[in-house]
Structure 1
Amino acid sequence: MAGAVQAVHLWKEWGIQVLVLVSFTLQVTLLIFGELRRCVDSDVLRLFTWSAYQMADSVAIFTLGHMAVAGRLPDHELVALWASFLLVHLGGQDNITAYAIEDTKLWLRHLQTLVVQVAAAAYVLYASSIFGHSMGRGYHSLLLQVATILMFVVGAVKYGERVWALQYASGSVSASNKKYRNFSNKSEYVMSMDLEFRPDFPDAEYIVFLGHRMLDVPKDLLKGPLPYEISFRKQLPGGMLDRNFRLDVEKAYKMAEVQVSLMHDIFYTKAESQYGVTRVVSSLATAVALLLLLLLLLGSSSDRHNNNNDGGYNYNKVDVAITCVLSVGAGVLEVMSLLRYILSSFNWYRYEYWHWHWRVLTPLRRLVHASEWTIRYSWSRSMGQHNLLQVCAWNRTSWSSKMAVRLAVEDWWNTLVCSWSIPVSPLIKQMVVKQVQESCGVSETSPDHILNSRGWAVLKRKSQQLYDALNWSVNPDKLSLEESILIWHIATELYLSWYKEQIASCMQDDDDLAKAVEALSNYMLFLLAARPNMLPPSTSRIAYIEMCYCLTSFKYTSAENLTHLLRRYGDALKNRPGSIFKFPYNTSLRRSSTRDVETANNTALHRGSHLPAKLIGEESQELESAHMLKLIGKVWVELLCYASSRCSAYSHVKQLSDGGELITVIAFLFEYLKRDLLKVNSSTSAASTV
């Protein structure tokens, strides 16, 4: 009991001090994690970032309320000053104004909180000894009052900036795109593209500048329709506008990666919503306030050293130390915020486009290689992986999965534990670029266009005979997207198993291709299992769950054992059509007599096991130089492109907060394809074979 009383006493005496330091620590955490989350794909990082984001406002608001209730503290004159610092903390860090897209929709709530908390901070200052009659009118009093007022104003402005950034991100383009000219009365806005006549641009700066110049295209996709149609024209040296401006597909892919980062900044940071005057004035006011506080604290330290206690300026040592930490921390955070604004590509683009002071900003950015950093860390550059056969084998042998079954969280747990991420390989980028190049010039309404085909265009280009033999595996009229993913995922696993046994030892050069194909297969299944919102709205996980239950009913000891079992099933379907294949079932689950019927009725399992047997047969008869592995990879790229063009804008935006997705990069790329902004590669035509 005595311990509890002592704890309560300590909390009453030092609770505010502890909370203020916790609030500052959370701001530092947000600064670091907010920068990392765009380029690091980690569930642990997301957990800590989310926790810090949720706690930051709560701690600051609770502390302000505690200070308002506590009233004037005679022995802690500096405590009231911290109310201004807490307002600055509520303003948040420039690189993370929102954690999720849902936070931007709550900007009105934040506006209400802004009014209430500014009023609470003003009350704390009014009721404190800083502005009370007992404070006196001496030199120390004046310094403290001016510094407090300046920090209070800075905090209110920063909090207002945050609310404005949330409102800016939540609105449609027509409502928030106010920095652009008004083209509401025009049907077309012709944007001149004079970049080719600016030889001073290195490649990295060219890509970043181009990403900003054409940013209205992804804005049109993610934020809603623009109030005007944009047409890009190439500008000649004399100022005349020539034919349509077109991009090389490889440069367009790099630009799309940069635009993923730019759209992240628009939705989740203050990057685009900040105004230069406000930014500079806020930094100057912070600098003046911190300088005054430094003079005040140095004067207090000198008085204490000389045993001069007249005037009551011998502040509590702990309060002085905390004030120093808050002041130095606020100064460092403000300097970093100002540098981020100065070196921001948004700020650079504004000045570069209007030719204002670009000779100052461009050399600064080149000095720190800002454009190279923007490109390198534009998004996570990773792709999730989820393997159906591995998760089923793990589910059979793992004790944690068995525990999850008892807790009724089996699906969630297996998806979480059996998912991982890998870097997007250069070969996968090349495969995507090549597929897009082959679609340049093809009518968008054609069923063979990459946006409409789910693999059958690849089979057609390969050969009519192959298409006739395998069209049942890609026919969109008979198969849903989730069934196509499951069929080709099983087929890919079984084919790669055979390929590694029979061919890989003689063809080491194709090892990278095999890894890329497997990565694409696992990525599409990852989207279906873990992030179905990134697929077309009609896509359902039910087929995936049914497949998992079906495969876990078989008797096997490992993923390799299950692979060989399904290969035998596929061989039986090919060599003895119509015969019944007897699967070894785990009899402890259910009676095997009902399983035979369920397995026979599982279309995805039937076709997924039959397909690799057909592919292996075609491989043995292949007379052309192209390899069957390339065909499988191209089918996966077409499936990925099909899904990217039909994923909802909300899902793309939501995933930006977690570092972005490869499917979002491809969606941006196809926006340029739809607008006829990509060059047709002369060496590649739509009629090219695999």
Structure 2
Amino acid sequence: MRELQRLQMGAGNKTLSKATAVVKSLRTPKANLGKIEFLACVTAFLLMLLTIFGTSRRQLNNQRLRSLLWAAYTLTSYLIVYTLGLMTEASFQNELLPVWAIFLMIFFGSSDSYSVHSLEDCERWKNYVWQYAIEITGVAFLFVMSGITLPMISVLILCLIVPLKAFRRAASLKIASGYGRQMTTKLIADYMSTEHRSEGDLDPSQMRGYKYVVRVGNINTLSLKMFKERQAAARWEAPDYGKPLEITDRVVTIEKVWKCQGWLLRSGGGDKDSKLKDICLSFSFCKLLRIKFSDYSLTKQAHQKAWKLIQHLYAEENGSERLFRIVELELSFLFDIFYTKYPTIFQRFGWKIKVIELLLLVIGVPVTIGLCFPWYDSNGPQDEVQLATAGGLSIDFLVTILILLIFTCGELIQCFYMAVSDWAKVSLLCKYVRTNWWQENRWMEKLIGLICRTQLTEPWERKLHQFSLLESYDYTPPRWLYNIFTDFFMDPIRDGQTQSPPAELVREVKEAVFRSLMSNPGPLQNGEVSLIRNEVAHMLSWTLGLKTQTQVIIVWHIATSIFEHEAPTTDPSSNSHFLVATNLSKYLAYLVAFYPKLLPDHPYDSEYIFDGIVIEARHLLKGCKTLEERIKKLNKIGKTMDDNTCKVIIQGVQLGQQLLDVENEPNFVWKVLAEFWAELMVYVAPSNNAIAQAQHLAMGGEFVTHLWALVSHAGIEREPPDVDVTHFC
């Protein structure tokens, strides 16, 4: 027995010795160098990932993609700081450490298409600047300690890119911050407060009288410094304290774009479908929408003028498609303002700085490779710590080449994206409007037309996400992943919260919603106008007086699901009313379940009501496995329940039975449902929570945000209820 114990103790000591040896080997200079090289390469790959897929988060509403990009964005910052710390504290010498440090500082500027992950990051722009200052101090210390070497001299050209990258990112964060939004929108807000007083008759077909600003040239606006100087000289008294904008030849307005006689922008020339002019219109609308994010407001007359323009656009052939395209591109510009560097790149001198970066890249990369290669061709100085393969090839040099290649590819990809971006198109079209010789040069017109009609992907996903309560109420998320402990680390998924397959945002849905918006005779109603028009209000309007819109949505959603099951259409794809009703029913239910911030009710009230409805459904439908069993049981329960019940599920069943009892043919009921859901969609669109809308732009966008942009331009708002609804369930 003692012999066995001695053997076991000996085996344990050997294992401990091996573990100790492994730990010591990881702390050797070569191991630390390998760690630095590995982390530098990982950082470069993560930046490439952000560069390639930066704008994909608004084109794809995909939680996994967003999580991957968030991880890459977050890890990049930490890895840069950690790796620079390893370099400055290294107990060995390697002449390429300053070279890698410079690239890490360039990477700290992040990708042009992914400057921030969320709006909260924008408010911390000062933290970013201070962090950059501290890190650049550490890199300078590393340079001093390394002395002057050939690899260090080779990278001096690329050093000039570091401040350009960092300051552009800091500027983009500041512009997207709360203060930055107010600062950059002040000029347009003051101008739009009087723009509606423009002389002359309005003609939306020719944009006559619509002096909405597209691009402001190099003009002198009233700065605070000029204000103080004039006031001190006592030569000037300010009639007001606004920031005036004088419309000169350098300022491009919508009216000027439509008046342009160049072949490229003529309706009978190169812009027969008005897509090029609409790019400028979208950019101008985006400027107006930014006012809503800056605590400024437009006058009632300004909203009425914009509403007249929107109605004209809708009245044209394929008006709903064109109007949707304009708003779609407008929100694309808004996304770029908040989440990318494009606003700073396309500012005055911004693109020139980008050209300088390219020149430094073209010169610096070959010089770096040319000077570093001879240095490491013979494995470098013998007194340095280096890594090499079994064949003697320098791993240090290979790492440098790999980082250079990733950096170069990333910059070229970003330049390509920038060249075909919507911002570049607006800049070219505005320059075309201001420059007469461009309008007379056919080759220039063809080049601009080619760029402006190049579209790599659609601006948004163009899908309606769906949720079916009767199919999903029994869903329970895995408790090992979503529980009271993980709530601190990730957004919780509640019981019943699982999506159905998304539906395409078809033309019929857009037309139905826009038709409801345009035909609204007065204040927005939550479906009552459509019920009155179809002469069924006396039967169905009892559902509109429920205490919250969340209850109204779920009651009608359940009724629509029951009618869909009990009175199915023979050819769903050809029945436009069926498509509109079912898609919007499940879409609004999806907003209730996942994004209540975009709906009229208080978000927590909606969550609380939804949780209660899920519990109610599980109690009533216990044991039912299929949708057919559930609806059959609901119909049975609905016939025995009191008509004055306050249970949302039962109210939905009762409404569904009323729809089945309508004496007209089923297609008439689908018409009623389609028009009701379209009107309710318009009713929930106005929102004072503009930040919530902007946050969802980075999640793939929502159809309700497109409507929100339209009604914001028109100044359409929901009126508070004029009756006391507290006695309703």
TM-score by length of 2: 0.75
How much has 1:524 moved relative to structure 2? 0.8
Is 1:218 the counterpart of 2:294? The answer is no
Instruction: State whether residues 386 and 396 of structure 2, in contact with CA within 8 Å, keep that contact through their aligned partners in structure 1.
Output: no
Q: 2:242 maps to which residue?
A: none
Instruction: State whether residues 217 and 671 of structure 1, in contact with CA within 8 Å, keep that contact through their aligned partners in structure 2.
Output: no
Q: 1:80 maps to which residue?
A: 98
How much has 1:176 moved relative to structure 2? 1.9
Q: 1:114 maps to which residue?
A: 132
C-alpha distance in structure 1 between counterparts of 2:614 and 2:565, whole Å: 20
How much has 1:621 moved relative to structure 2? 3.6
C-alpha distance in structure 1 between counterparts of 2:122 and 2:23, whole Å: 42
C-alpha distance in structure 1 between counterparts of 2:430 and 2:311, whole Å: 18
How much has 1:638 moved relative to structure 2? 1.8
1:197-224, Cα deviation, whole Å (9 max, x unpaired): 5313253323322211322232223444
C-alpha distance in structure 1 between counterparts of 2:555 and 2:163, whole Å: 57
Residue aligned with 2:58, SS: coil
Q: 2:8 maps to which residue?
A: none
CA 434–320 in structure 1, closer or farther in 2 if over 3 Å, else same: same
C-alpha distance in structure 1 between counterparts of 2:351 and 2:483, whole Å: 56
C-alpha distance in structure 1 between counterparts of 2:538 and 2:380, whole Å: 98
Is 1:525 the counterpart of 2:589? The answer is yes
Candidates 648, 651, 654, aligned match of 1:610: 654
Instruction: State whether residues 81 and 125 of structure 1, in contact with CA within 8 Å, keep that contact through their aligned partners in structure 2.
Output: no
Residue aligned with 2:128, SS: helix
C-alpha distance in structure 2 between counterparts of 1:408 and 1:292, whole Å: 50
Alignment of 1:498-513 (within 5 A): 498-500=566-568, 504-505=569-570, 510-511=574-575, 513=577
C-alpha distance in structure 2 between counterparts of 1:202 and 1:296, whole Å: 55
Candidates 139, 153, 163, aligned match of 2:170: 163
Q: 1:8 maps to which residue?
A: 27
Letter in 2 for 1:456: E
What value does the CA root-mean-square deviation take over the aligned residues? Answer: 3.6
C-alpha distance in structure 2 between counterparts of 1:462 and 1:386, whole Å: 27
CA 403–112 in structure 1, closer or farther in 2 if over 3 Å, else same: closer
Instruction: State whether residues 57 and 65 of structure 2, in contact with CA within 8 Å, keep that contact through their aligned partners in structure 1.
Output: yes
Percent identity of equivalent pairs: 19
Q: 2:366 maps to which residue?
A: 291
C-alpha distance in structure 2 between counterparts of 1:60 and 1:70, whole Å: 15
Letter in 2 for 1:649: A
Q: 1:273 maps to which residue?
A: 344
Larger mean CA deviation between 184-193 and 257-266 belongs to 184-193
CA 227–669 in structure 1, closer or farther in 2 if over 3 Å, else same: closer
C-alpha distance in structure 1 between counterparts of 2:705 and 2:400, whole Å: 45
Q: 2:553 maps to which residue?
A: 485
How much has 1:453 moved relative to structure 2? 0.7
Candidates 48, 52, 75, aligned match of 2:72: 52
How much has 1:116 moved relative to structure 2? 1.0
CA 408–525 in structure 1, closer or farther in 2 if over 3 Å, else same: farther
Is 1:634 the counterpart of 2:696? The answer is no
Instruction: State whether residues 303 and 715 of structure 2, in contact with CA within 8 Å, keep that contact through their aligned partners in structure 1.
Output: no
1:518-556, Cα deviation, whole Å (9 max, x unpaired): 221111111111111111253522222111111101332
Q: 2:612 maps to which residue?
A: 546
1:382-403, Cα deviation, whole Å (9 max, x unpaired): 22222111122445xx9x5799
Instruction: State whether residues 222 and 652 of structure 1, in contact with CA within 8 Å, keep that contact through their aligned partners in structure 2.
Output: no
Alignment of 1:193-232 (within 5 A): 193-197=255-259, 198-199=265-266, 200-201=270-271, 203=273, 204-225=275-296
Q: 2:465 maps to which residue?
A: 384
Instruction: State whether residues 205 and 371 of structure 1, in contact with CA within 8 Å, keep that contact through their aligned partners in structure 2.
Output: no
1:562-593, Cα deviation, whole Å (9 max, x unpaired): 111222334456xxx66xxxxxxxxxxxxxxx
Q: 1:43 maps to which residue?
A: 63
C-alpha distance in structure 1 between counterparts of 2:480 and 2:633, whole Å: 23
Residue aligned with 1:384, SS: strand
Letter in 1 for 2:421: S
Letter in 1 for 2:699: D
When the two structures are aligned, how many residues end up with a matched partner? 604
C-alpha distance in structure 2 between counterparts of 1:313 and 1:179, whole Å: 58
Letter in 1 for 2:555: I
Letter in 2 for 1:156: P
Residue aligned with 2:547, SS: coil
How much has 1:332 moved relative to structure 2? 1.6
C-alpha distance in structure 1 between counterparts of 2:130 and 2:397, whole Å: 33
How much has 1:85 moved relative to structure 2? 0.4
Candidates 231, 246, 254, aligned match of 2:325: 254
Structure 1 unaligned residues grouped into runs of 5+: 136-140, 235-241, 579-599, 677-690
How much has 1:457 moved relative to structure 2? 0.6
C-alpha distance in structure 1 between counterparts of 2:444 and 2:422, whole Å: 10
Residue aligned with 1:293, SS: helix
How much has 1:89 moved relative to structure 2? 0.5
Candidates 28, 31, 49, aligned match of 2:51: 31
Letter in 1 for 2:330: Q
Instruction: State whether residues 343 and 365 of structure 1, in contact with CA within 8 Å, keep that contact through their aligned partners in structure 2.
Output: no
How much has 1:79 moved relative to structure 2? 1.8
Residue aligned with 2:503, SS: strand
Alignment of 1:207-606 (within 5 A): 207-225=278-296, 246-248=312-314, 249-250=319-320, 251-274=322-345, 275-300=350-375, 304=378, 317-355=394-432, 363-364=446-447, 366-367=449-450, 370-373=453-456, 376-394=457-475, 400=478, 412-418=493-499, 420-439=501-520, 442=521, 446-447=522-523, 452-463=524-535, 466-475=536-545, 478-500=546-568, 504-505=569-570, 510-511=574-575, 513-539=577-603, 540=605, 541-554=607-620, 555=622, 556-572=624-640, 601-606=645-650
How much has 1:408 moved relative to structure 2? 10
C-alpha distance in structure 2 between counterparts of 1:118 and 1:629, whole Å: 65
Letter in 1 for 2:162: G
Letter in 1 for 2:26: A
TM-score by length of 1: 0.79
Instruction: State whether residues 258 and 277 of structure 2, in contact with CA within 8 Å, keep that contact through their aligned partners in structure 1.
Output: no
How much has 1:159 moved relative to structure 2? 1.3
Structure 2 unaligned residues grouped into runs of 5+: 1-18, 199-210, 213-253, 260-264, 389-393, 718-729
C-alpha distance in structure 1 between counterparts of 2:418 and 2:293, whole Å: 24
How much has 1:343 moved relative to structure 2? 2.5
Letter in 1 for 2:356: V
CA 111–652 in structure 1, closer or farther in 2 if over 3 Å, else same: same
C-alpha distance in structure 2 between counterparts of 1:222 and 1:383, whole Å: 26
Instruction: State whether residues 122 and 176 of structure 2, in contact with CA within 8 Å, keep that contact through their aligned partners in structure 1.
Output: yes
C-alpha distance in structure 1 between counterparts of 2:366 and 2:537, whole Å: 76
Residue aligned with 2:115, SS: coil
C-alpha distance in structure 1 between counterparts of 2:481 and 2:110, whole Å: 41
How much has 1:298 moved relative to structure 2? 4.4
CA 179–648 in structure 1, closer or farther in 2 if over 3 Å, else same: closer
Instruction: State whether residues 233 and 245 of structure 1, in contact with CA within 8 Å, keep that contact through their aligned partners in structure 2.
Output: no
1:455-502, Cα deviation, whole Å (9 max, x unpaired): 001011112xx1122111123xx43101101110111111111111xx
1:430-477, Cα deviation, whole Å (9 max, x unpaired): 2112222323xx3xxx34xxxx211001011112xx1122111123xx
